[in-house]
Structure 1
Amino acid sequence: MQVCLRDAGHECVAVTRQSTILPNGRETLALGNISAQTDWQEVLDGVECVVHLAGQAHVAGKAALNVQATFNAVNVEATINLVEQAINQRVKRFVYVSSIGVHGATSNDTFITEASPFIPYSPYTHSKYDAEKALQRLAAHSQMEWVIVRPPLIYAADAPGNFRQLLGIVEKGYPLPFAGLSNRRSMVALENVVDFLMCCCTHDKASNQAFVISDGQELSTTEIVTTLASGMGKRQCLFWIPDLLIKMGAALLGRQHTYTQLFGSLQVDSGKARLLLGWRPVISTHDGLVKAGREFLGK
């Protein structure tokens, strides 16, 4: 995102855990793991807008002994610390990337909008919901504007987590039980996320608003897998298993959430972003998935 902001003429400071060199040759500022004690004063000096992307998405090892506390430490307490220091430094706008998961794990036959009820269902989504509320509460007593963005699955060739695993499985050509699925999944390409966040940084009407976003197209898991395979120049082998058997197997293995992600529906209506901000995705889901598959294979 730093590269895109600079290309658009904005001065930008990127903060990471470890120092890295970006494609434009610029180095990021390394602060290590963020916490409630992180000192942001030097970083925030002269900054007009903060885009907060950092967060804890997965927990493993000793941290798994107290999952909620681990998520809260980074996603809630560290965020509160950053918000408070941003207010003290007179930052004009704070853009927070939350998760569509604050509205639940599935949408069934409906579309999730900004008006949908909050149904956080996991330690991670509870922490994102709590961070949203803390941002709004603190900003309400200051001059700082807030923007909250709730994306569904963000995909790209170098995406981490479950999408990375799916790319690896498709690349290896393993047979998958995804034939004939009729579920509908909204996703959002990394390129579209970056473009929308840039819009949120500058658009007057984004002030003090929450947005759910997506590519604007819903695909079944069958279509997602076959499109990724197409980008890799492969033909994916899919077969059919009765849904009840898959659901029972997932329950026995303790993988109910994985079952929901692969076989359930999660549809997002990003109409507010289009109507209020005039935003349009810069890449379609089909083209984004083909690109992700092609670039993953190239790595």
Structure 2
Amino acid sequence: MSDPGVRSDVRRWLVTGATGFVGKAVVARLAFEDSCIPVAGCRRDVSLPGNAELAVTPSLGPDADWSGALQGVETVVHTAARVHVMDEDAADPLAEYRRANVEGTLALARQAAQAGVRRFVFVSSIKVNGEQTATGSAFSAADAPAPVDPYGVSKAEAEAGLFALGRETGMEIVVVRPPLVYGPGVGGNFARMMQWVARGVPLPLGAVDNRRSLVGLDNLVDLLVTCLEHPAAANRVFLAGDGEDLSTTDLLHRVAAAMGRRARLVPVPPVLLRAGARAVGRGEMARRLLDSLQVDISHTRETLGWEPPVSVDEGLRRAVVSLVG
């Protein structure tokens, strides 16, 4: 029996992880659309913008009951996940990632298919492709998965399970793999980097000639919204990006420019930076700052007719405004 409180004359799109960095932005984008009602999947009661509705959802896991949140839903945008943990303390990290990101995702997807959901849009990670690219090369959507860390492995396994479930049930699966996402409210290392630049801290990164792809939050949200209904998106993998790759040195200069200041960068040879980072147990951080990771979004552009609507400089300006006002 249908829920008498659920309107049948509008489309309902469930966004999981709706208090997270990406999920919150997706809800905000959809909340003032006349053609749909975003159902914000949250684990607690929160205030929501526009016409968004709240669905209190369970923690992501194999035994979670999503039936209430899926009532009347046409499409799911699944952003909830156990995210990449820098200082991992779990005894078996891979098992923890699998419980949430594989078993939890597939439990949600099975229930979605049973509830008649037409399309399931999964926010995965470029880590499914790997951790770095060689100079002059870029990851593509056609590459065989080559994840390295537990988080990447769990996302790759979730993707495989979703496509298998889609073939079994007929529910359309769309996978989007973003690289590092930045924008208003960004946290982690990107926020710390902006804070260093804002305080004028000298950084030994003035001679880094790598290339890295990023994706602004507004660009990623625009791509996800495109994937909600585009007929060519069904049962495909798409890589996300801004369409412009930057060296770490260039990124810092452009973050500083967005703040109206100059970056204080010292040109230390990368070989010395790597050696120093290894000596203090920060080898992984050095790889993210010094290695290349490029993403080819030509398949995304050509298949969906999509272009990133926000430039890198504008995206950085929006991120900076949210940090320093």
TM-score bracket relative to the smaller structure: over 0.9
Where does residue 124 of structure 2 map in the other structure?
98
How far the C-alpha of 1:30 sits from its partner, in A, is 2.9
Which residue in 1 is equivalent to 2:21? none
Hey, what does 1:190 align to over in structure 2? Answer: 217
| Amino acid aligned to 1:253 | V
Identity of aligned residues (%): 38
Structure 2 contact 56–69 (Cα < 8 Å) conserved: no
Q: TM-score, normalised by structure 1?
A: 0.94
1:45 aligns with 2:71: yes
Give the residue type in structure 1 aligned to 2:318.
K
- Preserved contact between residue 20 and residue 27 of structure 1 (Cα < 8 Å): no
How far the C-alpha of 1:181 sits from its partner, in A, is 2.0
The answer as to whether partners of 2:31 and 2:50 remain within 8 angstroms in 1 is: no
Which whole-Å CA distance do the structure 2 matches of 1:221 and 1:103 have between them?
21
Asked whether the equivalents of residues 40 and 52 of structure 2 are also in contact (C-alpha less than 8 Å), the reply is: no
Q: CA deviation at 1:296?
A: 1.1
Cα distance between partner residues in 2 of 1:30 and 1:61: 29
More helix by share: 1
Given the superposition, is the C-alpha separation of residues 22 and 227 from structure 1 closer, same or farther in structure 2, using an over 3 Å criterion? farther
Cα offset, 1:273, TM superposition: 1.2
Of residues 134-143 and 155-164 in structure 1, the stretch that sits farther from structure 2 once superposed is 155-164
Q: Give the 5 Å matches for 1:89-238.
A: 89-109=115-135, 110-238=137-265
Cα 1:256–1:54 change in 2 (3 A) is same
Contact 1:94–1:147, Cα closer than 8 Å, also in 2: yes
Residue number in structure 1 paired with 2:97: 71
Q: CA RMSD in A?
A: 1.7
**Per-residue deviation, 1:11:** 1.4
1:83 to partner: Cα distance: 0.8
Question: Given the alignment of the two structures, is residue 85 of structure 1 paired with residue 106 of structure 2, yes or no?
Answer: no
Give, as a single letter, the amino acid of the residue that structure 2 aligns with 1:99: S
Aligned partner of residue 210 in structure 1, secondary structure: strand
Report 1 or 2 for greater relative contact order, CA contacts < 8 Å, sequence distance ≥ 6: 1
The C-alpha deviation readout for 1:24-49, integer Å capped at 9, x for no partner, is: 38563332522212111111111111
| 1:247 equivalent in alignment to 2:274 | yes
- Bigger mean CA offset, 19-28 vs 138-147: 19-28
Partners of 2:112 and 2:176 in 1: CA distance: 18
The amino acid of 2:193's aligned partner reads L
Stretch deviating more after TM superposition (26-35 or 65-74) = 26-35
SS in 1 for 2:181: strand
Q: Does structure 1 residue 6 correspond to structure 2 residue 27?
A: no
Task: Encode CA deviations 1:176-198: one digit per residue, 9 max, x unaligned.
Answer: 11113211111000001111001
Unaligned 5+ residue runs, structure 2? 1-25
1:14 match: secondary structure: strand
Q: TM-score, normalised by structure 2?
A: 0.87
**Are residue 20 (structure 1) and residue 46 (structure 2) matched?**
yes
Report which stretch shifted further, 207-216 or 240-249.
240-249
- Aligned to 2:303, what secondary structure does the other structure show? helix
**1:211 touches 1:272 (CA, 8 Å); kept in 2?**
yes
Give the Cα separation in 2 of the matches to 1:2 and 1:242: 44
| Preserved contact between residue 227 and residue 290 of structure 1 (Cα < 8 Å) | no
In 1: Cα distance, 2:242 partner to 2:144 partner: 22
Match of 2:82 among 56, 74, 82: 56
Structure 1 counterpart of 2:108, which letter?
Answer: L
Q: Aligned equivalents of 2:198 and 2:147: distance in 1?
A: 33
Structure 2: which amino acid aligns with 1:195? Answer: D
Counterpart position of 1:266: 293
- Whether the 8 Å contact between 2:211 and 2:291 is mirrored in structure 1 is yes
Q: CA deviation at 1:217?
A: 0.3
Q: Does 1:288 align with 2:296?
A: no
One-letter amino acid matched to 2:81: G
Question: For the Cα contact (< 8 Å) 2:184–2:217, is it kept in 1?
Answer: no
With 250-259 and 213-222 compared, the bigger mean Cα shift is at 250-259
Q: 1:202 to 1:25 in 2, by over 3 A?
A: closer
Please identify, of 279-288 and 25-34, the stretch whose mean Cα deviation from structure 2 is larger. 25-34
